[in-house]
Every structure is written in structure tokens, then in C-alpha cells.
Amino acid sequence: MTLKDSILCKRILCSAALALLTGGLILHSAVFSGANYIPVLDSSASMSRTDPDGRISMIDEPADSRQVLTMGFVGNCIVGSMLGSGAYGTFNEQLEMEGPAYFLKGASSVLAEDDWTVCALGSVLSDGEYRPAEKNDDERAWYLAPAAGAQVLAEGSIDIVSLATDHTKDYGAEGYADTKTALEDAGLLWGDDEKAVYLEKHDIRIGVYPCRLEDAETDLPRILGWIGNASASCDLVVIYPHGHMGMEPDSPEVFAAYCSMIESGADMVLATHSTTLYEPVSYADGVIVPSLGSFLSGDTRFPEMETGVFRVKLLCTGGRVESWEWEMIPFLAYEEPWQPIPASSGN
């Protein structure tokens, strides 16, 4: 080997050793700094974080560094008929003839886009033969479907059901217990005044409290107490209240109660106790929907036509909610019996 060849060989070996050393130092730095990727710089980028042209900030984050979570909320869903009737022209007759997939087939593709969808159930789901609960003359309505009615919600891409409404105890404690069992058998989560629903995904924790708000003086302290506890452990706090049918969703007293919930730490207050859909209202750092209206009304073929899906989208990074936004997706209650559809698909 000539002297020239020997020198060239040594240079190649030194270059290789230097490359290995540099690579080892970069890998060591990445591992012990908690980094889970090593950015690839183009030839124009500077390695200095203080470089005035800031080209280091142009490096793209890895595709999995951010996640998007979405939740959908709809209003009342009366799954059943008055006194459980299966007579001609009733919801239960339609359920028997068409099966559970019929009812929300026009909405399920929209609802399935969300990680979770929430509804308020306004009926009892039971195969038991129970007496209707005693009611005064102003509240004489009882709604009932077979336990298989839970599949109406499950097959329609509903995931979470509020039982904190004014008809889930139409058939007493027995009917209420059967309703819980029917929902669980269908793979659905449920909540009520005594049981909030907690959801977790991508290290994000969401608390949803389905609750009754019939009297602010009586019910509000309980709700505010839950908000205080939930806001300390949840990244998003949602109140999903339901009141009696005589309550005006936008009355000063009711709206003041909703505002106090936001002031206490709730991010959203989405109410369900009216058949009418109300526009969302931004308040402080949160949003209030005085009423989500009725989404599925088993008590009538002729509901108020306008309803909707309230959707919230969360942008999450590293187990934190960086920002969130909402939209109201307009729906028509139905042109065909008991089939809500997106307004864009109506005539």
C-alpha cells in the first residue's frame, strides 16, 4: 500500500468514527430529553434555537403529536309510545315492523363521526308489566317501549344516555331499573343525578353530568358542587340538564342558573327540557344551549321540524386540550315518520 493510500484510508476511518460518535450523542440526547422523534433538518435550517430567521420552527411535528376529539349532543329522544301502545300508527308499531335500525338511519352517519354522542331518553325501556306511576293532571303522559328499544339508540350511533329526564320513571323504580339494564345490554353508557359519566381518550378526561334542574334553589347547589369537583380533575366539564316542560329555557332565572354553572367551572351547558331548538350562546369562556329540542319524538308523527346536533371539537396535544370549538349541525326532525335527517338532505 502506498503512503497516499494509507493516508486516505486513515481519513476514511476517522470520518466514520466521527459520524458514529455524533450519531450516538444525538441519540443519547433524544432518549434522555424525553423526545420521541428526531427532526430532520433541510440544508437551509439552522441548529441554533436563537437563530434570528427562526427556520428551526418550520420543522413539522410528527403526525401523531396532535389528536382531535369530537362529541355530539342531541336533545330528547322519546323511544316508545303512550302507555306502551303498539296500535296502528304508533312508534312501537313502527319498531315492530321496521326494526330498531329504521329510526336513526338518516342520522347515524353524522353521529358516527363523533367519538361519543349523547342523548336524553324520555321514556322507559322494559318488558315488565308494571303500573304507570301516579301523576297529576298536568303530567299525565307515560312513554314505554320494549327493552329492545335500546337498540334504536345503539344502532343509531348513540353512546351515552341521560336518564335525568321527566319520563324515565313513568313506570316506577322497577321500570327505571329495567331501563338501565336494557341500555347496558345494548352497550350504552348512562348517567343521572347520582351518576355522572366520565370519558377518557388520548389522556384527555371529560366529565358529563346529566342532571335535573327543576328548581334552581333546590337543584343548583348540587350541580355547582359537582362542577367544583369535576373541574379539578377533568379537561372538559359538560352539564347536560333537563327541567320540567313548563320551564322556559331562556327565562332570566333559568339562564342565570346556566351562567352560574359556567362561572363555577363548566365549559358547556347543554339543556334538553324543551321541544324547541334554541341557538347556542357564548358566555365567558363557555357556551350555553338553552334547549337542544327534540331529536326523536315517539309521542308524535308531527314534531317541530327544526332540530340539530351540537358538536364540539377538541384539539389535544400531549394530554392537554389546546383549544376547542363548536358547531350546530341543522337537522329536520323528520319527513318520514320518526327519521331525523340532516337539513341539507331535505327537500
The pLDDT tens digits for 314-328 are: 999 989 999 999 999
Question: What CATH code is carried by the domain that includes residue 119?
Answer: 3.60.21.10
Residue 254 is part of which domain span?
A: 69-129+139-345
Lowest mean pLDDT segment, chosen from 1-10, 140-149, 266-275: 1-10
Contacts of 311 (CB under 8 A, 6+ apart): 70, 71, 72, 73, 114, 326, 327, 328, 329
**Nearest-angstrom CA–CA distance, 64 and 73:** 27
| Average pLDDT, rounded, for the chain | 83
Do the domain assignments include residue 53? Answer: no
* Stretch 221-247: mean pLDDT: 91
Nearest to 80 by CA among 164, 213, 171, 159: 171
Q: In this predicted model, what pLDDT tens digit does every residue of 7-25 receive, in sequence order?
A: 344 444 444 444 443 344 3
Do the domain assignments include residue 235? Answer: yes
Do the domain assignments include residue 92? Answer: yes
The count of structural domains within the chain is 1
Do the domain assignments include residue 20? Answer: no
**Nearest-angstrom CA–CA distance, 28 and 317:** 25
Q: In this predicted model, what pLDDT tens digit does every residue of 132-148 receive, in sequence order?
A: 999 987 778 999 999 99
Do the domain assignments include residue 38? Answer: no
Cβ neighbours, 10 Å, residue 334: 22
**Nearest-angstrom CA–CA distance, 244 and 241:** 10
Do the domain assignments include residue 251? Answer: yes
Do the domain assignments include residue 90? Answer: yes
Q: In this predicted model, what pLDDT tens digit does every residue of 54-109 receive, in sequence order?
A: 333 444 555 556 899 999 999 999 999 999 999 999 999 999 999 999 999 999 99
Please tell me the pTM assigned to this model.
Answer: 0.80
Do the domain assignments include residue 52? Answer: no
- pLDDT of amino acid 178: 98
